[in-house]
Amino acid sequence: MRVLGIVQGVGFRPWIYNLARRHGLGGFVLNSPRGVFIEVEGPRSAIDAFLAGMLHETPPLVRIADIERVEIPATGETAFVIRESDAKGSAFALVPPDICVCEACLADSRDAANRRFDYPFTNCTNCGPRYSIILDVPYDRSMTTMAEFAMCADCRREYEDPANRRFHAQPNACPICGPRLFLKVSGEVQAPLSAREILTRVAGFLAEGGIVAWKGLAGYQLACDATQPAAVGELRRRKRRSEKPFAVMVADAGVAATLCDVSAAERAVLVSRERPIVLLRRRPGSPLAEAVSPVNPATGVMLPCTPMHDLLFRTLRERWGREAALIMTSGNISEEPIVIENAEAEERLAGIADVFVHHNRRIHTRVDDSVVRVVLGETMLLRRARGYAPQPVFLGRGDAEVLAVGAQQKNTLCLTRAGFALPSQHLGDLENFETLRFFEETLERMKRLFHAQPIAVAHDLHPGYLSTQLALKMEGLRRIAVQHHHAHIASCMAEHRLEGRVIGVAWDGTGLGTDQTIWGGEFLAAGYLSFDRFARLRPVLLPGGDAGVREPWRVARSYLLDALGSVPAGAPWEQMASPERLRIVDTMLQRRVNTIPTSSAGRLFDAVASLIGLRHSVSFEGQAAMMLEAAAQEFLHASHDAPSYEFLLTARHPPEPRELDFRPMIRQMIEDHAARESQARVAARFHATLVAAITALCVKMRGELGLDRVCLSGGCFQNALLLQGSVEALRGEGFQVFSHHEVPANDGGISLGQAAIACEILASDRS
């Protein structure tokens, strides 16, 4: 048998070994660059039982994608053995993500009688670092950053005993032979201290409002006491992060529930082995400082993912006499990549952290913390990184090797290999040199790790994206340009392995259209090879390019002029900006100078937030939309009296797409606002209108095109109200509705769509 899937570094071989022995079979299991090979010999009934066990009793981290089987003559083998890795052949193996410490290892590290008591690097075949420490496949200790630690006799005994939980656990380690923590204060390494002594000192620093940097599972993290406003404010100042929410770490789900509302589904994600940051609704009177997530009722919470974090929280509980809540944010400056090396940390984070907790296990691949949200009881990824990357999406669209370089913001890249799409971890916004370097570093490492040699590169249509520029510079690769929203829909299709054509609702902030205008409120009839733009939001003028994104009031002026012909007198429309700036922008709009038409739904959210006086300028993209959603959620908590406003759908003038015209809604909103209707209710009615409009358009498309599957993609569908409302309304109309679970709905998921489209183009060219 040849087994493909995530079968290396996840306890697959020992499990097969035990399974084969249980059924009295002879043969072997062998890790190879081409997958895991298994030979079994014995009575037919025992082999059948073995096969049934393989499919139904798999260990937690194993993902079997495919099993090839052939029958060969018996050789009289009675013993079952694990053979040495075979390093020859065309190397390809899927690599598991980094996963949190398992219950059994946690118990070891909490047990004063265990030789791993308080040991921060305790792990086994079911848990611990993987992607971040693997240099190459086949996955053996020599191919990881653990190679430099020689196992002690006790560890080796565990490693070689098939009955042991640590049998062939490549990062196996203990306090005698494994990595160690060390503490650096004011540039001085403190005399040898135990992990507990170090974290006791750290507890003291944190109590005094200090900021500590430590090396986590796959990157440095910065921490301070989340209940001390001064400490949180200082971290914001030093990290140059004005309002973007910080994540918080607490000891367990019980403590999380004292700070935030935690549903059963949210609790399940919090304690899952991926251990992402989960966005939760803060409880009234929570002790978290306001500055943790200003003007935002949601807070990102995560639980400890390594024995070190667990030991830290145990120590804090002892020293502080209460449950701690720590800010736990990426060790970086502003939007730069997360720091992984000790020297790099001290250099780059010198102005931020007072104290450093390093360790001497190298992180090979930097992976940030993941961020998720639960909608309709299911996990929705906002940032796909630690715990998820590099988990594959099985495309099954031929074995062409392509590279997709993603978009500009929230960039990820994606390689395809042996029928799998391999989306990278979150890389960031490709606007600074460091992120660009991170992109190139990740591309090189993934190509080497997965032994991929792409023959084509898929990129966005936008010539200004740095990802596009990189793609265009690559020699000898076929270039495939993919429209942004087409890629969004294809990524949703690929996740669900949909064929044929679907209704694609692609709503986001910005993407270049085939007509050189900015799209973002699109209704596409789409397959992998092509799409038709059935309808769009009625375009408005966006004054002043990028400034229009940071200052929602600009697009609000545009919507006002479009809907009313002039801007009404009164608050908040006179207070959006200084009279001088308002006059300049109004003139730009009236004369159509330095403006660009956009059908962006993201900009509509911005405009509405400003129109009702919620927010006129933002410190990060999507902030206005977040506040609008939060206001609407607030209202809907108390009441459901939020009927939709009116909208129009224009008739068809081929080849122009139909237009979804929200001018009637804008006029009604202005009236509501003038009549002192609450911002929260207007926000709720706005969301109801969007849901009604999406549903009406999809019904129209089904009527004309006969399509009844809807894919919802684009950053706007990270808005829980919009996503949940649309899914429920569309299902109510009898549609099959698909949204994202494997990759983010935002631009972080686009590289998967680009890759799927490129594979399909290559496959159709060949046939």
Which residue, 177 or 696, has its beta carbon nearer to Zn ion?
177
Tokens at residue 520, please?
A: 């973002």
* Element at 736 (helix H, strand E): strand 736-738
Segment near Zn ion (CB under 5 A), from 150-158, 589-597, 639-647, 684-692?
150-158
697 binds Zn ion (CB under 5 A): no
Segment near Zn ion (CB under 5 A), from 21-29, 174-182, 586-594, 659-667?
174-182
Q: Quote the least distance from Cβ 198 to Zn ion, whole Å.
A: 20
Cα dist from 113 to 159, 180, 318, 322, whole Å: 21, 20, 19, 26
Which residue, 307 or 753, has its beta carbon nearer to Zn ion?
307
| Rounded CA separation 363/342 (Å) | 10
Q: Quote the least distance from Cβ 148 to Zn ion, whole Å.
A: 14
Q: Quote the least distance from Cβ 95 to Zn ion, whole Å.
A: 18
Tokens at residue 724, please?
A: 């949940």
Segment near Zn ion (CB under 5 A), from 117-125, 216-224, 256-264, 664-672?
117-125
10 binds Zn ion (CB under 5 A): no
Q: Quote the least distance from Cβ 420 to Zn ion, whole Å.
A: 26
Which residue, 108 or 225, has its beta carbon nearer to Zn ion?
108
Segment near Zn ion (CB under 5 A), from 11-19, 170-178, 204-212, 268-276?
170-178
Q: Quote the least distance from Cβ 147 to Zn ion, whole Å.
A: 15
| Rounded CA separation 304/320 (Å) | 18
Which residue, 117 or 394, has its beta carbon nearer to Zn ion?
117
Give me the torsion for CA of 337, 342, 346, 347, rounded to 10°: -60
Segment near Zn ion (CB under 5 A), from 10-18, 105-113, 292-300, 569-577?
105-113
| Rounded CA separation 453/564 (Å) | 56
| Rounded CA separation 436/471 (Å) | 13
Q: Are 218 and 210 in contact (CB under 8 A)?
A: no
Q: Quote the least distance from Cβ 362 to Zn ion, whole Å.
A: 18
Segment near Zn ion (CB under 5 A), from 68-76, 118-126, 227-235, 299-307?
118-126
Q: Quote the least distance from Cβ 311 to Zn ion, whole Å.
A: 15
Segment near Zn ion (CB under 5 A), from 172-180, 510-518, 538-546, 596-604?
172-180
Q: Of 47, 82, 91, 152, which lies in the binding site for Zn ion, with binding defined by CB under 5 A? A: 152
User: Residue ranges of the alpha helices (H) in 497-550?
Assistant: 547-550
Q: Quote the least distance from Cβ 108 to Zn ion, whole Å.
A: 8
Q: Quote the least distance from Cβ 391 to Zn ion, whole Å.
A: 19
Decide: helix, strand or coil at residue 130.
Answer: coil
Which residue, 304 or 602, has its beta carbon nearer to Zn ion?
304
Q: Quote the least distance from Cβ 102 to Zn ion, whole Å.
A: 3
Q: Quote the least distance from Cβ 152 to Zn ion, whole Å.
A: 4
**Nearest 5°: CA angle at 559, between 553 and 565?**
120
Segment near Zn ion (CB under 5 A), from 145-153, 251-259, 300-308, 472-480?
145-153
Q: State which of positions 177-196 bind Zn ion (CB under 5 A).
A: 177
Which residue, 155 or 217, has its beta carbon nearer to Zn ion?
155
Decide: helix, strand or coil at residue 150.
Answer: coil
Q: Are 421 and 395 in contact (CB under 8 A)?
A: yes
Residue closest to 532 by CA, chosen among 648, 662, 656: 656
Residue closest to 410 by CA, chosen among 745, 135, 62, 70: 745
Q: Quote the least distance from Cβ 129 to Zn ion, whole Å.
A: 11
Segment near Zn ion (CB under 5 A), from 132-140, 169-177, 468-476, 750-758?
169-177
Q: Quote the least distance from Cβ 369 to Zn ion, whole Å.
A: 20
Which residue, 103 or 580, has its beta carbon nearer to Zn ion?
103
Tokens at residue 63, please?
A: 């993902």
**Could you give the angle at which helices 601-611 and 663-674 cross, rounded to 10 degrees?**
20
Q: How many residues bind Zn ion (CB under 5 A)?
A: 10
Q: Of 163, 176, 593, 638, which lies in the binding site for Zn ion, with binding defined by CB under 5 A? A: 176
Q: What beta strand segments (E) does 292-436 contain?
A: 298-302, 325-330, 355-359, 371-375, 378-383, 393-394, 402-404, 414-417, 420-423
Which residue, 127 or 691, has its beta carbon nearer to Zn ion?
127
Q: Quote the least distance from Cβ 273 to Zn ion, whole Å.
A: 10
Which residue, 100 or 690, has its beta carbon nearer to Zn ion?
100
SS3 content of the chain, % helix, strand, coil (to 5): 35, 20, 45
Q: Are 718 and 724 in contact (CB under 8 A)?
A: no
Which residue, 32 or 109, has its beta carbon nearer to Zn ion?
109
Cα dist from 753 to 646, 748, 749, whole Å: 34, 10, 7
Which residue, 128 or 454, has its beta carbon nearer to Zn ion?
128
Q: Are 54 and 48 in contact (CB under 8 A)?
A: no
Q: Quote the least distance from Cβ 9 to Zn ion, whole Å.
A: 13
Give me the torsion for CA of 181, 185, 187, 189, rounded to 10°: -40
Q: Quote the least distance from Cβ 386 to Zn ion, whole Å.
A: 17
474 binds Zn ion (CB under 5 A): no
What DSSP character marks residue 168?
T
Which residue, 155 or 556, has its beta carbon nearer to Zn ion?
155
**Nearest 5°: CA angle at 606, between 522 and 409?**
65
**Which string of DSSP letters, residue by residue, matches 337-350?**
PPP-SHHHHHHHTT
Which residue, 109 or 558, has its beta carbon nearer to Zn ion?
109
Tokens at residue 453, please?
A: 């040699």
Q: Of 127, 224, 688, 752, which lies in the binding site for Zn ion, with binding defined by CB under 5 A? A: 127
Residue closest to 130 by CA, chosen among 302, 308, 365: 365
124 binds Zn ion (CB under 5 A): yes
155 binds Zn ion (CB under 5 A): yes
Backbone angles phi, psi at 582, to 5 degrees: -60, -45
Backbone angles phi, psi at 454, to 5 degrees: -60, 145
Q: Quote the least distance from Cβ 27 to Zn ion, whole Å.
A: 28
Decide: helix, strand or coil at residue 284.
Answer: coil
Q: Of 102, 232, 277, 326, which lies in the binding site for Zn ion, with binding defined by CB under 5 A? A: 102
Cα 746 to chain centroid, rounded? 9
Segment near Zn ion (CB under 5 A), from 121-129, 230-238, 316-324, 679-687?
121-129
Segment near Zn ion (CB under 5 A), from 74-82, 153-161, 316-324, 537-545?
153-161
Q: Determine whether 177 is exposed, middle or buried from the number of CB atoms within 10 Å of its CB (0-12, 13-18, 19+).
A: middle
174 binds Zn ion (CB under 5 A): yes
105 binds Zn ion (CB under 5 A): yes
| Rounded CA separation 669/6 (Å) | 52
Which residue, 107 or 674, has its beta carbon nearer to Zn ion?
107
* Binding characters for Zn ion, 60-99, by CB under 5 A (x = yes): ----------------------------------------
Which residue, 116 or 417, has its beta carbon nearer to Zn ion?
116
Q: What is the CA radius of gyration of the chain?
A: 27
Which residue, 126 or 296, has its beta carbon nearer to Zn ion?
126
**Could you give the angle at which helices 679-705 and 720-732 cross, rounded to 10 degrees?**
40
Q: How many CB atoms lie within 10 A of CB 162?
A: 15
Segment near Zn ion (CB under 5 A), from 77-85, 122-130, 256-264, 703-711?
122-130
217 binds Zn ion (CB under 5 A): no
Q: Give the footprint of Zn ion on this chain (CB under 5 A).
A: 102, 105, 124, 126-127, 152, 155, 174, 176-177
